[in-house]
């Protein structure tokens, strides 16, 4: 039963991520988690939903190539999270996902 629920969720997610707006929100939420693994899973899901590739079976080197970045950079993201990603790298990833990178500042939350 659990496998069916997982398949249904994956199918639902793929349909939702076809929307550029929702895909952008999904990736933004993944960035806010500051987890390299969460970020890379979001990237793979978006690649799959947009029909760019079946990303789940890609090696790290193949994924890096699809994103226009080096495997070394992708490995660092995976291990260290997203706080250390340069704007240039994030722009390349956004471009590979058919997105536009827009940097927005907002006030910090009160403690």
pLDDT tens string 62-76: 999 999 999 999 999
Q: Which residue has the tokens 């895909």?
A: 23
Query: Whole-angstrom Cα distance, residue 40 to residue 56?
Result: 10
pLDDT tens string 3-28: 677 778 889 999 999 998 999 999 99
Decide: 66 and 31 in contact? Cβ < 8 Å.
Answer: no
DSSP reduced 3-state for 80:
helix
pLDDT of residue 54: 80
Q: pTM (2 decimals)?
A: 0.84
* 35-41: Cβ within 8 A, 24+ apart: 35/81, 35/82, 36/77, 36/78, 36/79, 36/80, 36/81, 36/82, 37/78, 39/77, 39/81, 39/82, 40/74, 40/77, 40/78
């Amino acid at each position: 039963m659990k496998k069916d629920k997982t398949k249904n969720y994956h199918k639902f997610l793929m349909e939702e991520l076809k929307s550029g707006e929702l895909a952008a929100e999904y990736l933004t939420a993944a960035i806010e988690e500051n987890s390299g693994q969460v970020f890379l899973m979001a990237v793979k899901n978006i690649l799959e939903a947009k029909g760019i590739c079946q990303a789940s079976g890609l090696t790290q080197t193949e994924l890096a190539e699809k994103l226009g970045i080096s495997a070394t950079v992708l490995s660092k993201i995976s291990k260290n999270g997203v706080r250390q990603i340069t704007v240039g790298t994030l722009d390349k990833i956004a471009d590979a996902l058919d997105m536009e990178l827009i940097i927005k500042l907002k006030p910090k939350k009160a403690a």
